[in-house]
Structure 1
Amino acid sequence: MRRPGGRSARVRAAVLAATVDVLLEGGLDALSIGDIARRAGVHESSVYRRWGTRFNLALEAVLDRTRTEVPVPDTGALRTDLAALLQGTAAFVRTPLGELLLRLALRADMAEYEGARERFWDHRFAAGSAVLTRAEERGELRPGLDHRLVFEALMGPLHMRLLLTREPLDETFLDGVVELVLAGIAPHD
């Protein structure tokens, strides 16, 4: 039986931290279960038993870090929730791990990575949907909107600038994106 905060939690934290370190040092191609186990001070079989593959391990490490660095905001208002979500994402993608994720997102040469990429984005869409569901319950959002599409509309301009135009992600830009999205999703009076 696993005890929260016990050895299992310490092993998980050590393995995930070692995984992020390896990802930052050498990218996904350098990820080795054996190396991670040594760095974390655990047996290799423990890592395989819990995560199975290096892609599952990398995914959990990245999701764990994004949960911490880009938490799901709950400010009580749609405008400030969207602004916090967009600003948090913009700050995260400027970190070494965020930059690595952008580079990995562009790779098309890793078939085994596709499942991990899909699970990562499903998690991020669920986070965005939680914000939108609360807003819908407060009457700040037109009912029946496709939450995934709204989240894509919010995040799309950010990725356009990061990957294509390389223009700055300043406050004026981020605020403008939030206002544009709000204009399209607010209830009709």
Structure 2
Amino acid sequence: MNADGVGSARPGGRTARTRAAVAVALQEELLEVGYGGTTMDRIARRAGVAKTTVYRRWGSVGQLVVELFAEAAGTQIPVPDTGSFEGDLRALARSAVAVLTHPRSRAIFDVVVREAVHDPAARAALTGFFAGRVANAAPIVSRAVERGEIPADTDAAEVIRQLGAPYYARMYITGDPIGVADADRAAAVTAMAARGGLLSS
């Protein structure tokens, strides 16, 4: 998922153009009327495609959101390389916060988190998203180990959990806003915990 939301256009003809148009229409509907007001008919009309195509391909708004989110979760994002463990974590956290505060991305993310409570497909998409972020962070951890900044048995998954927990808690538990200061604080705390051997496997 990038800061422009879910569903960037792919080359590949009419099918790719249809998917891109539907993705944009979905995001605009979520922003305009919210999840409760978004319907497949509205999405099809806004996207300029036949509603039978949308229903046949996705079935429901929830399925559409989950599938597009799952696709975006597999997108590779640049791995920061600032020369220090904490610097890399800070860059990663700032990037995550930028995405999560973008209205289009946030609208999609909110739906997937909500649906994951009872929908196995949404749960799998969300799990896949975080697995991708862990894999993305693995080079950050391995470089830090090589530089002697953190213990050799530091667990990349624990690093990502620790890094993301503060701003996800603010978003979905306390309802507080998130910003750059929260990203920087999360990076500093995570780096300190890793250096102290608290994030080992």
TM tier, shorter chain?
0.7 to 0.9
Q: Describe the SS at the equivalent of 2:186.
A: helix
Q: 1:92 to 1:147 in 2, by over 3 A?
A: same
What is the TM-score with the length of structure 1 in the denominator? 0.73
1:20 alignment partner, one of 17, 27, 44: 27
Measure the CA separation in 2 of the matches of 1:99 and 1:29.
16
Q: 1:38 to 1:13 in 2, by over 3 A?
A: same
Instruction: Report deviation, 1:43.
Output: 1.6
Contact 1:15-1:40 at 8 Å conserved across structures: yes
Residues 71-110 of structure 1: CA distance to partner in whole angstroms, max 9, x if unpaired? Answer: 6331235434422331122223323235545754775xx6
Measure the CA separation in 2 of the matches of 1:111 and 1:187.
34
Larger RCO of the pair (alpha carbons < 8 Å, separation 6+): 2
Contact 1:150-1:181 at 8 Å conserved across structures: yes
1:183 alignment partner, one of 162, 182, 192: 192
Instruction: Report deviation, 1:116.
Output: 4.8
Q: 1:90 to 1:38 in 2, by over 3 A?
A: same
Identity of aligned residues (%): 29
2:133 alignment partner, one of 123, 128, 132: 128
Residues 103-161 of structure 1: CA distance to partner in whole angstroms, max 9, x if unpaired? Answer: 54775xx6885335423422331232123322344353645555443322111111333
Q: Does 1:53 align with 2:60?
A: yes
Contact 2:22-2:43 at 8 Å conserved across structures: yes
2:168 alignment partner, one of 147, 159, 167: 159
Return 5+ residue gaps in structure 2 as ranges.
1-9
What is the root-mean-square deviation of aligned Cα atoms in Å? 3.4
Q: 1:36 to 1:102 in 2, by over 3 A?
A: closer
Q: Does 1:96 align with 2:103?
A: yes
